[in-house]
Structure 1
Amino acid sequence: MTAPLLVDVYAAAAATGIKPGALRVRLHRGTLTHHGYDRQGRTLIDLHELQPAALINAA
């Protein structure tokens, strides 16, 4: 398993095309893992966890 690639919600949205609000909903529902906060207080998400979901959403 690879090391997590932690990015904030907006970087994850830019990389996958999933809207930031949709990512926040998935965090709230527990379908996406919350990995803490960065120094600016932004929520961190593992980008590797989103890659399969981005492929499903694109289809």
Structure 2
Amino acid sequence: MRAPVIVDTHAAHAATGTQPATVRKWIQRGHLIHYGYDRAGRALIDLHELEQRLAAQAA
């Protein structure tokens, strides 16, 4: 298991193309683990977990 790479929703968007609103909705629905907020108030998530979710949806 890889160590989590904690990023905000905008960095996740830059890395994967997933809209920040989509990431926030997945957090609300329990599809992604929420790791708190950054100083700007953006949700923090594990980039690897988001990539795994995207790969599972594509399969």
TM range (shorter): 0.7 to 0.9
Unaligned runs of 5+ in 1: none
Q: State whether residues 24 and 43 of structure 2, in contact with CA within 8 Å, keep that contact through their aligned partners in structure 1.
A: no
Aligned length: 59
- TM-score using structure 1 length: 0.80
Greater than 4 Å deviation, 4+ residue runs? 56-59
- Over aligned residues, Cα RMSD in angstroms? 1.7
Tell whether the 8 Å contact from 1:17 to 1:54 is kept in structure 2 after alignment.
Answer: no
| Separation of aligned partners in 2, 1:20 and 1:40 | 14
**1:36 equivalenced with 2:36 (yes/no):** yes
The corresponding residue for 1:14 is 14
Any stretches of 5+ residues in structure 2 without a counterpart?
Answer: none
Query: Could you tell me how far 1:2 is from its partner in structure 2?
Result: 1.4
TM-score (norm. length: structure 2)? 0.80
**Percent of aligned positions that are identical:** 54
